[in-house]
């Protein structure tokens, strides 16, 4: 009888393997950090029932783990999630690049093969993937999910307003956008939303230059939206109800389920990813020497490059303002030799130029009075969360729409328009900085508004109305479907 009992125990139901999320992201900082934070938050829901693996392009993976990685296929872990790279056939290219038609086909094929191998390898190691999450438009990931019969979830790491703009572009508004693309002030009214002028729409949707990158993005996103129309996947949106409640309500009917999962950037300093070497200058100590709200922080993110003319214009504008400034200018973000810039500022102006920094630390410092930003979504959320007014200087992609939200909907900053050559004119920059930093009624209202959003964001996080609670509900639906 004892033997029979033991046999029954051995042959009885075994515990189900944990739900395994494979999160695939573009190898650029603005995608990697939110994806990593999402993976960490999912993994922490219940370590016994959830595991996460983050997969990014091999070139970015090597930069993140340069001291650990000895081969492109090597997997590593931070103790919470695992990291495994995939190859797109262009592993030595570390920047966002425009590929030719043949190169794009090669990249898609190679990415599909590499990610399929990862799925097979993880299954062989006893960690089968039960759900794939991809950041926005990654057609090879759609292919992998279809081939392997694995449910796919879309992680939209831009505002819900941008999600709505793209949805309507592919569902009846393409011709309207195109016919008015040369009229930046023309207003488009999308269902359930405030009017948006052409200059405030995502740049890829109203490009009149036949830019190859715009075509690439529009084609990739069209495939994504066709997939969503057909397969009805769950959609995770990196935003908050307090910021986009009306738009979130408007987009809900277009998708099977939309989960508002909150800000996915401000993890601990130890967990944040930096694709660039932080400057060795004592910029935090330099900030300590300045009075409250007296410093202008300038950073245009991890992709934009500077020409000498653009640098001279910004420098001229900051000279006119006379406020001290901390300016991020990456070495690989300089189109020309700008070594004179550092010496010029350090020797003659009350400013500091650095190559890279921990932006959350800077924005948290009491001496920072405003943020001159390109309006990347992560940077904008950080500024809102920390109560820092903005001077919005959008360039491309979702940035014009975010700048509209900053200036018009939330009224937490001003916007600078580039000239016809795409250059930020120093006098225009100075004008906006003076408005935000000055002792005037507009500046006071902006500071009140941004502080109000700061408190609302914190309250929403404490109550758990979005963010982690929504993520838990999402994870439960995936776990129960396994």
Mean pLDDT score across all residues of the chain: 88
Cα(413)–Cα(432) distance, rounded to whole angstroms? 9
Tens digits of residue pLDDT in 250-273: 999 999 899 999 865 555 445 556
User: CA dist 340 to 159, 282, 344, 348, Å?
Assistant: 38, 20, 6, 12
CATH-assigned architecture of domain 283-460: 3-Layer(aba) Sandwich (3.40)
- Domain 19-161+215-262+466-481 falls under CATH 3.40.50.970: no
Dmax over Cα atoms in the chain, in whole Å? 91
What the block records as the tokens of 237 is 């949106």
Q: What is the pLDDT of residues 109-137, one digit of tens each?
A: 999 999 999 999 999 999 999 999 999 87
Cβ atoms of residues 359 and 371 within 8 Å: no
Annotated active-site residue in 8, 20, 31, 348? 31
- The yes-or-no answer to whether 19-161+215-262+466-481 and 283-460 have a common fold is yes
Q: Is 8 an annotated catalytic residue? A: no
Portion of the chain with pLDDT greater than 70, in percent: 85
pLDDT at 337: 64
Q: What is the pLDDT of residue 373?
A: 97
State whether the Cα torsion 25-30-36-42 is positive or negative.
negative
CA distance 418 to 300: 14
What is the per-residue pLDDT for 308?
86
pLDDT at 82 over 70: yes
Listed by start position, the domains of the chain span 19-161+215-262+466-481, 283-460
What does pTM read for this prediction? 0.92
């Amino acid at each position: 009888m004892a033997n029979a009992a033991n046999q029954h125990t051995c042959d009885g139901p075994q515990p189900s393997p944990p739900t395994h999320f494979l999160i695939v992201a573009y190898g650029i900082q603005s995608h990697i950090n939110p994806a990593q934070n999402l993976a960490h938050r999912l993994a922490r829901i219940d370590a016994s029932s959830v595991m996460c693996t983050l997969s990014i392009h091999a070139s970015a993976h090597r930069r993140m783990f340069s001291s650990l990685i000895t081969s492109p296929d090597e997997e590593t872990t931070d103790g919470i999630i695992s990291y495994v790279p995939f190859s797109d056939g262009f592993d030595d290219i570390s920047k966002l690049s425009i590929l030719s038609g043949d190169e794009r086909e090669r990249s898609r094929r190679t990415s599909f093969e590499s990610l399929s191998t990862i799925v097979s390898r993880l299954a062989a190691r006893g960690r089968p993937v039960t759900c794939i999450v991809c950041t926005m438009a990654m057609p090879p990931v759609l292919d992998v999910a279809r081939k392997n019969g694995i449910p796919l979830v879309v992680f939209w790491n831009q505002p819900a307003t941008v999600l709505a703009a793209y949805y309507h572009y592919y569902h009846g508004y393409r011709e309207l956008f195109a016919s008015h693309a040369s009229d930046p002030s023309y207003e488009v009214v999308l269902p359930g939303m405030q009017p948006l002028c052409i200059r405030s729409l995502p740049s890829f949707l109203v490009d009149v230059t036949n830019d190859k990158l715009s075509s690439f993005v529009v084609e990739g996103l069209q495939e994504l939206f066709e997939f969503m129309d057909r397969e009805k996947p769950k959609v995770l949106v990196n935003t908050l109800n307090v910021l986009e409640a009306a738009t979130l309500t408007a987009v809900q009917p277009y998708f099977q389920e939309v989960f508002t999962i909150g800000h996915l950037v401000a993890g601990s300093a130890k967990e944040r990813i930096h694709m660039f070497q932080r400057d060795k200058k004592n910029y935090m100590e330099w900030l300590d020497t300045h009075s409250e709200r007296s410093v202008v922080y300038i950073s245009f993110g991890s992709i934009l490059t500077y020409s000498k003319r653009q640098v001279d214009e910004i420098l001229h504008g900051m000279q006119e303002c006379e406020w001290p400034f901390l300016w991020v200018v990456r070495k690989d973000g300089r189109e020309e030799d700008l070594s004179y810039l550092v010496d010029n500022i350090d020797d003659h102006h009350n400013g500091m130029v650095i190559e890279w920094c921990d932006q959350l630390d800077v924005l948290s410092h009491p001496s920072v009075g405003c943020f001159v930003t390109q309006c990347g979504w992560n940077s904008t959320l950080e500024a809102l969360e920390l109560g820092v007014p903005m001077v919005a200087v959008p360039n491309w992609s979702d940035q014009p729409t975010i700048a509209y939200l900053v200036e018009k909907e939330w009224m937490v900053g001003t916007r600078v328009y580039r000239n016809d050559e795409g250059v930020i004119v120093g006098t225009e920059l100075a004008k906006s900085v003076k408005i935000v930093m000055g002792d005037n009624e507009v500046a006071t209202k902006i500071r009140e508004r941004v502080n109000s959003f700061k408190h609302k964001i914190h309250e929403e996080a404490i109550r758990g109305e979005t963010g982690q609670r929504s993520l838990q509900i999402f994870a439960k639906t995936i776990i129960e479907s396994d």
